[in-house]
């Protein structure tokens, strides 16, 4: 009987974990930081569909043309700080539509390799915040430039970056028309805690139930002939 109860509890645990995971499955949270005082986070919604905004072939001289596809998904929600400035929001930034923009060069890579072209994974957002010294932050972009064969179709998970200021960088625009840019230090996926907390509590409950100390009554029953 107790074994049946344990199995039932484990089944409830699995169902609960699956339900909680589905509640948070659409949101992917990332944090970012730079050595110049920019820090914050953005959230991508993996239920947002990608659309193809451009495709074709890139040609250069006598090298074979390199086919490419550019994808876009409109889903970032960004919050952060830049020194004493704070900002948040989502919208159009820097003349480009907000969201996640992905360029994927595809084989053969001849012309792209010849011209040092590469894939990119870019997040752009329009942001707002309180004015400080007559200006406020109005836009933020995060760029990850890669080799031409680094991506294989669109993904909300960024590929491993090239850690230098040329390939892994940020761009900030201000309300007075000034701009600032530099190298990113980190772009980190934040694990989803709610599902794992529920899973841990459920497992602890199973073991607590399974290995509880028997009561005197149950001991007496076991010792009967």
H helices of the chain, in order, are 2-24, 110-114, 193-210, 216-223
Segment 59-101, tens digit of pLDDT:
988 899 999 999 999 877 889 999 999 999 865 444 567 889 9
Kindly report, residue by residue over 118-131, the tens digit of the pLDDT.
999 999 988 999 99
Residue 119: closest CA among 48, 71, 50, 59: 71
- The whole-number pLDDT of residue 3 equals 54
Is residue 176 within 8 Å of residue 137, measured between CB atoms? Answer: no
pLDDT of residue 184: 94
pLDDT band at 194 (very low <50, low <70, confident <90, very high): very low
Rounded to an integer, the average pLDDT of 160-182 is: 94
User: Which pLDDT score, from 0 to 100, does residue 207 have?
Assistant: 46
CA distance 9 to 15: 10
Contact by Cβ (8 Å): 169, 187? no
User: What's the CA gap between 184 and 188, in Å, rounded?
Assistant: 11
Q: What is the pLDDT of residue 90?
A: 63
Using a cut of 0.75, tell me whether the model's pTM lies above it: no
pLDDT band at 209 (very low <50, low <70, confident <90, very high): very low
Question: Does residue 203 or residue 182 have the better pLDDT?
Answer: 182
């Amino acid at each position: 009987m107790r074994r049946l109860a344990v199995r039932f509890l484990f089944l409830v645990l699995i169902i609960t974990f699956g339900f909680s995971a589905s509640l948070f499955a659409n949101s992917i949270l990332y944090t970012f930081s730079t050595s110049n005082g920019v820090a914050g986070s953005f959230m991508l919604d993996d239920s947002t569909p990608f659309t193809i905004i451009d495709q074709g072939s890139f040609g250069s001289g006598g090298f074979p043309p390199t086919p490419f596809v550019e994808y876009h998904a409109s889903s970032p929600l960004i919050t952060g700080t830049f020194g004493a400035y704070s900002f948040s929001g989502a919208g159009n930034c820097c003349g480009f539509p907000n969201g996640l923009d992905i360029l994927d060069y595809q084989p053969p890579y001849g012309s792209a390799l010849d011209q040092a072209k590469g894939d990119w994974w870019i997040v752009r957002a329009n942001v707002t915040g309180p004015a400080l010294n007559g200006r406020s932050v109005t836009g933020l972009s995060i760029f990850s430039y890669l080799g031409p064969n680094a991506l294989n179709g669109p993904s909300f998970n960024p590929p491993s970056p090239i850690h230098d200021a040329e390939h892994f960088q940020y761009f900030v625009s201000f309300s007075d028309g000034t701009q600032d840019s530099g190298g990113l230090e980190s772009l980190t996926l934040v694990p989803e805690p709610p599902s794992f907390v529920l899973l841990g509590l459920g497992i602890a409950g199973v073991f607590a139930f399974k290995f509880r100390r028997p009561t005197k009554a149950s001991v007496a029953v076991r010792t009967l002939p």
